[in-house]
A and B are shown apart, each in its own frame.
Chain A
Amino acid sequence: MKQLLTGNEAAAEAAIYAGCRYYYGYPITPQNELINYMSFRMPQVKGTFIQAESEIAAINMVYGSAAAGGRSMTSSSSPGISLKQEGISYLAGSELPCVIVNIQRGGPGLGDISASQADYFQSVKGGGHGDYHVIVLAPSSVQEMADLVYDAFDLADKYRNPVLILGDAQIGQLMEPVEFKKEFKENLPPKDWALTGAKNRNKRVIKSFYPVKGELEVFNAKLQSKYKEIENNEIRYEAVNIHKADVILVAYGTSARICKEVVRKSNHLKFRIGLIRPITLWPFPTEFIRNMSERARCMLTVEMSAGQMVEDVRLAVEGRCPVHFYGRTGGGVPTSLEIVKKIVEIMPKNKAAKTLLQFAGVK
């Protein structure tokens, strides 16, 4: 049955479906619907809900429950996620599975409460200290929020690694019909590394401290080979109108929705626009973007930031075609008309591109 839910509520309910029974959070706009939902929903399924004293305490409670074998989750918005970075580094270093939801808002500093995609670097390049990665999933609809949060718990357990859901104020507060189609998980298999009390077995230790010279390098090599495996297995993206496209847009989440509008507008034109929408931001669909860049005249990355993901697109393309950028910051959301104008601007000699403007309603 379909329900009309906000992205925040859908994320919470999907976590319950995935067997998450430990949620720790701290209020911050625009993710409040999530913590509010968990506060009444967790007791209904005999789970734990704690409104923590701080973002730092919340992520460390997640660390504790993850170490003890429970599926656990926290959520916040940009400034709160910054506070959690120490904990995320420890989770990665102790190889603990968990899910963290970031409903991004404008920054830097206190910024504002409207939608933004300016935490891309923080999400995919580490965020905290040390050589580590979290798996980053970027939903662009409420249904996809539900589906990705559900999958996130399996991915986290499979690789013993934190998974970050990177949404924004729009996806968090947008209401759309959503359906929970997958299994309602309750009894999950035990984890052979979790702290459960050393009954008839050797003791287990969860830690990220390797003070003996050489041990930490060995451990880092192990982490890197795990990341390689994730890169080999888990890349997800959506490609729209990609074949024979003159211009390929690259965008994720909310920006990608607007780009789809542009793609639709160009559907009946000779001048073709395609879209690559990375769903996993780490691991990034580098190879696919590289292959597509051989065919397109150019690429245009659209973000609600001053230009972050565009760096990864350029690293993927390695000069095979020009990579342009259009972005809005500080709560600004690009419009389809702005994107069309940008396409015309970057292809001044292309007459066909100008026909786009008519379809976008500009005389």
Chain B
Amino acid sequence: MTEKIILAGFGGQGMMLLGKLLAQAAMADSLYVTYFPSYGTEVRGGTAVYHLVISSEEIFSPLIEEADTLIVMNQPSYQKYKEMIKPDGLLLLNTSMIKFDYLPDVKIYTIPATEIASNLGNVLVSNIVMLGAYLTIKNLFSTENILEQLKISLSGRKKDLLDINKQALERGMQAINSLTV
């Protein structure tokens, strides 16, 4: 098994954390994992893109040439990275911020992640809504594993945020729409 995921969004949309939670879950399941952030020179607001590879065998290049999955949060990222999905690959997009086309040979899943997050009361958890959606589609990790990683990430001062993140995860799992299945 090898899953190559490109995650992209505005800096500040939490793609870093989304990928890190998946990477930690993979580590907890004793899988091989590489997680490579690729920053622009902008500190905030620029496009942030992350290459995450999870595999049952040793991973050589952490740079993804063809992605099994693309998870995108905003329009510029969608435009920039949609060509990187391999044939029959998976596209998960945040419809709150993206107008998309019907791409041939791509399985498209949509979710209004920003909207769901703001309805929950904190727009910052839109990344976790996306995470919930992804878990439903690919089912790579158990919910318990992901919750454990969330707990580790939200320790100390961020402890109060655990509840809303759990809600975001659940909403993401339920609200996912498939356009091709």
Contact = CB atoms under 8 A, between A and B. Distances in A.
Given A4-B27, A337-B65, A175 B34 contact: yes
B159 to A, nearest CB: 20
A357 to B, nearest CB: 15
B65 A174 contact: no
A213 B37 CA distance: 55
Interface residues of B, number: 16
B35 interface: yes
A1 to B, nearest CB: 10
B12 interface: no
A264 interface: yes
A336 B65 contact: yes
B61 A174 contact: no
A38 B27 CA distance: 25
B20 interface: yes
B28 to A, nearest CB: 9
A174 B23 contact: no
Contacts of B39: 113, 173
B33 A260 contact: no
Residue from A170, A175, A258, A335 whose CB has the most chain B CB atoms within 10 Å: A175
A257 B60 contact: yes
B104 to A, nearest CB: 18
A151 interface: no
B88 to A, nearest CB: 14
Given A258-B60, A264-B60, A336-B65, A173 B36 contact: yes
Interface string B159-179: 000000000000000000000
Residue from A113, A176, A264, A337 whose CB has the most chain B CB atoms within 10 Å: A176
Interface residues of A, number: 18
A309 B23 CA distance: 34
Contacts of B62: 170, 174, 176, 257
Given A2-B27, A4-B20, A4-B27, A176 B61 contact: no
A105 to B, nearest CB: 12
Interface in B1-51: 20, 23-24, 27, 33-37, 39, 41
B65 A175 contact: no
Contacts of B23: 4, 175
Residue from B33, B35, B60 whose CB has the most chain A CB atoms within 10 Å: B60
B106 interface: no
Nearest to B37: A173
B137 interface: no
A208 B45 CA distance: 50
A347 to B, nearest CB: 23
B149 to A, nearest CB: 10
A302 B136 CA distance: 41
Interface string B118-147: 000000000000000000000000000000
A257 B36 contact: no
Contact of B36 (A2, A175, A336): A175
B60 A170 contact: no
A173 B36 CA distance: 7
B27 A170 contact: no
Nearest to A114: B38
Contacts of A176: 33-35, 62
Interface in A317-363: 333, 335-337
Given A2-B27, A175-B20, A258 B36 contact: no
A103 to B, nearest CB: 13
Contacts of B63: 170, 258, 333, 335
A40 B36 CA distance: 24
Contacts of B65: 335-337
Interface in A147-192: 170, 173-177
Interface in A217-262: 257-258, 260-261
Nearest to A337: B65
A174 B60 contact: no
Contacts of B60: 257-258, 260-261, 264
B61 A258 contact: yes
Residue from A170, A177, A337 whose CB has the most chain B CB atoms within 10 Å: A177
Contact of B34 (A174, A261, A337): A174
A339 B65 CA distance: 13
Contact of B35 (A175, A258, A264): A175
6 contacts: A175-B20, A258-B63, A261-B60, A335-B61, A335-B63, A337-B65
Given A173-B36, A261-B60, 11 more contacts: A4-B27, A113-B39, A170-B36, A173-B39, A174-B35, A174-B36, A175-B23, A175-B35, A257-B61, A257-B62, A258-B63
Question: What are the 9 A-B residue pairs with the smallest beta carbon separation, nearest first?
Answer: A175-B35, A261-B60, A260-B60, A258-B61, A257-B60, A177-B27, A174-B36, A261-B61, A257-B61
